[in-house]
Structure 1
Amino acid sequence: MDKPYVIGIDMGGTNTACGIVDARGEVLRRGAIQTQKYTEADQYINELHKALMPLIEEVGGIDKIKGIGMGAPNGNYYTGNVEFAPNLPWKGVIPFAGMLHAKFGVPAALTNDANAAAIGEMTYGAARGMKDFIMITLGTGVGSGIVVNGQLVYGHDGFAGELGHTTIVRNNGRQCGCGKTGCLETYTSATGVARTAREMLDIKKEDSLLRNIPVESITSKDVYEAAIKEDAIAKEIFEYTGRMLGEAFADFVAFSAPQAIVIFGGLSKAGDLIMNPIREHMEKNLLPIWKGKIQLLFSALNEADAAILGASALAWELKN
């Protein structure tokens, strides 16, 4: 293989991680820059170039690089643009794939971060060999990537797969950052779990380890740590969150009949605390034709590398 490596870039709202990846999915070199530091997109690209070039030289120079893949909030695979991302310093439409191509001189592609995770899982992880699956990322928000017949679903405009913004509570649902109310994300993201904790502590009178923490400071990690100590309210918060996810997953199955739903992100660290109620409530709400047939899996990718791997997987498809 004359170009044995690709570059994966994971643009987060706060930090950007990047790496050089080989065909087996090994991240050979890693780097990082701060996303928020640069007021101009050009400065950001220059800084990425500065961080990556020494790593590229270490693996034999730019001639060894087949292409660059980037996962970014509101990244549009069709256009190569990041479009109106609410949590990034640059507003409007930014042609990042074109800017990367111009700066590095190799082909570049871009997609959103959850789609990048799905591609990574299909190329290197738990969904290897699967043609139909859904990737759900449970982090600050809830993202998703839908794969049907071996192809990621982008829709007509490049933005398909916003399952975190399907409505799970129709009346008096929680306000979401997207402007809607009752979105799945407002209940089942890490921030959603913290909101549930505040609500339950307000309604219930029982003792809880969570009452030792200032209510506005409670995080999903605090809820997990209390739950593994058998705290009743913390366990109920996971039961409630898992029920919401399980009911939503049953709807998602009705849409695309996936072989598996793969769960990735911070909340997946809760293991059975979250998985058991998801499984119970998904099965309860599935049509009989799907009962017992849909696998629920945790991501097989190391979380630190997953987004880099997913983004890098885009680059193997690029034509030189």
Structure 2
Amino acid sequence: MSDKIIGVDIGGTSIKLALFDSSGIVSKKWSIPTNCKDKGVHIPYEIVDSIERKFDETGTSLDELSGIGIGVPGPVDESQVKRAVNLGWDNFPLKQIVEQKLRVPVALLNDANAAALGEFWQGSAEQLKDIVFITVGTGVGGGIIVNGQIVNGHHSSGGEIGHIPVKSAEKRVCGCGNLNCLECYGSASGMVKTMNQLAGTTLVSDTKELFELVKIGNPFARETLNVTIDYLARALSGILNTLDPEELVIGGGVSEAGSLFIDPLKNALEQYVFPQIRDGLQVRRASLGNDAGVYGAAYQIIEILKMIPV
């Protein structure tokens, strides 16, 4: 019986894979390096080879594989990766290549959307329908789920929370080419830049060092945290007031600071969120960590397979 599912999460340095059954139980997790040579042309074939080897190692027939979900760091549509700068892909036929090699359905989704679906599916004790997921790390990413469905958008760019424009006295150029996107100020790299500007010298090189200074009451670190939280809270409140979700989930490397980051963000949200929403909104730290992407990729293909006539 074909009830095995593979979830794949393609990152800039490594590709995480996990083998699931159709109920969402993981039996194997592993990873391979991301080979970006020759504009990433080898990646789909190395994913296929890795899956074939894993099935061979475990004595499992590939006939038991029913589908594969793949999260990609960039916009995707139903048939191809529109763009993945770090991998060298433009209109890349990832789905077609993997489907032809393994002869099973493949679902593509953006990696932040995959992480959002993973948290939606397995991250909470209760099954919700509407969540907003934000990752605060090197950049700011996100995923929006409405009535159990990821919002990918007409241009394959739904959930690009990090590119909400913010108002600032200075000008920072975003990686997308626009000026003063949220991630210029609300990301880990944005926080480090703000901190060192306030201090007038290079005091920190990452947010781990910054939060250590927050703990001991360093005024520049505390001001940096206050400024960053305010940017994030204003932008997120716009989304929350528009969508009225059940839950806001916060992931990414900066969320690892725990209550030092989450608590002030909750407090700031209370200033800006519409009262009717504020009183019932759940805010939590993401619980799946680096596994969220493979869970979400697996969930996506499981849901798609349910719609295919037997």
**Shared fold (TM-score, shorter chain, > 0.5):** yes
User: Residue 250 in 1 paired to residue 249 in 2?
Assistant: no
Instruction: Tell me: CA distance 1:253–1:59, structure 2 relative to 1, closer, same or farther (3 Å).
Output: farther
Q: Secondary structure at the residue paired with 1:123? A: helix
Q: CA RMSD in A?
A: 2.1
Question: Which residue of the partner structure matches residue 305 of structure 1?
Answer: 291
User: Residue 276 in 1 paired to residue 263 in 2?
Assistant: yes
Question: Which residue of the partner structure matches residue 4 of structure 1?
Answer: 3
Separation in structure 2 between the aligned mates of residue 22 and residue 295 of structure 1, nearest angstrom: 30
Give the AA of the match of 1:94.
Answer: F
Query: Unaligned regions of 5+ residues in structure 1, if any?
Result: 203-210
Candidates 232, 241, 244, aligned match of 2:219: 232
Separation in structure 2 between the aligned mates of residue 111 and residue 315 of structure 1, nearest angstrom: 10
Equivalences for 1:123-272 in 2 at 5 Å? Answer: 123-126=121-124, 128-169=126-167, 172-202=170-200, 215=203, 218-272=205-259
Q: Are 2:78 and 2:107, in contact at CA under 8 Å, matched by a contact in 1?
A: no
Q: Any runs of at least 4 consecutive aligned residues in structure 1 with deviations exceeding 6 A, and if so which?
A: none
Give aligned-pair identity as a percent: 33
Q: Deviation at 1:308?
A: 1.3
Q: Deviation at 1:159?
A: 2.0
Give the AA of the match of 1:4.
Answer: D
TM-score, normalised by the number of residues in structure 1? 0.88
User: Residue 32 in 1 paired to residue 18 in 2?
Assistant: no
Q: Secondary structure at the residue paired with 1:84? A: strand
Instruction: Tell me: CA distance 1:127–1:257, structure 2 relative to 1, closer, same or farther (3 Å).
Output: farther
Question: Which residue of the partner structure matches residue 205 of structure 1?
Answer: none
Give the AA of the match of 1:184.
Answer: L
Q: Deviation at 1:125?
A: 1.1
* Corresponding residue pairs, total: 305
1:88-119 Cα shifts (integer Å, max 9, x gaps): 2x242101111111122111011101110111
Q: Deviation at 1:167?
A: 0.8
Separation in structure 2 between the aligned mates of residue 225 and residue 135 of structure 1, nearest angstrom: 26
Q: Deviation at 1:274?
A: 1.2
Q: Deviation at 1:141?
A: 1.2
Question: Which residue of the partner structure matches residue 82 of structure 1?
Answer: 81
Give the AA of the match of 2:154.
Answer: H
Separation in structure 2 between the aligned mates of residue 175 and residue 132 of structure 1, nearest angstrom: 32
Q: Secondary structure at the residue paired with 1:18? A: strand
Q: Are 1:241 and 1:274, in contact at CA under 8 Å, matched by a contact in 2?
A: no
Q: Are 2:7 and 2:295, in contact at CA under 8 Å, matched by a contact in 1?
A: yes
176-185 or 42-51: bigger deviation: 42-51
Question: Which residue of the partner structure matches residue 19 of structure 1?
Answer: 18
Separation in structure 1 between the aligned mates of residue 133 and residue 253 of structure 2, nearest angstrom: 14
Q: Secondary structure at the residue paired with 1:122? A: helix
Q: Secondary structure at the residue paired with 2:212? A: helix
Instruction: Tell me: CA distance 1:255–1:110, structure 2 relative to 1, closer, same or farther (3 Å).
Output: same
Separation in structure 2 between the aligned mates of residue 180 and residue 150 of structure 1, nearest angstrom: 31
Query: Unaligned regions of 5+ residues in structure 2, if any?
Result: none
Q: Deviation at 1:32?
A: 2.0
Q: Are 1:246 and 1:281, in contact at CA under 8 Å, matched by a contact in 2?
A: yes
Q: Deviation at 1:315?
A: 1.6
Give the AA of the match of 1:200.
Answer: L
Question: Which residue of the partner structure matches residue 54 of structure 2?
Answer: 55
Give the AA of the match of 2:302.
Answer: W
Separation in structure 2 between the aligned mates of residue 17 and residue 149 of structure 1, nearest angstrom: 28
Q: Secondary structure at the residue paired with 1:177? A: coil
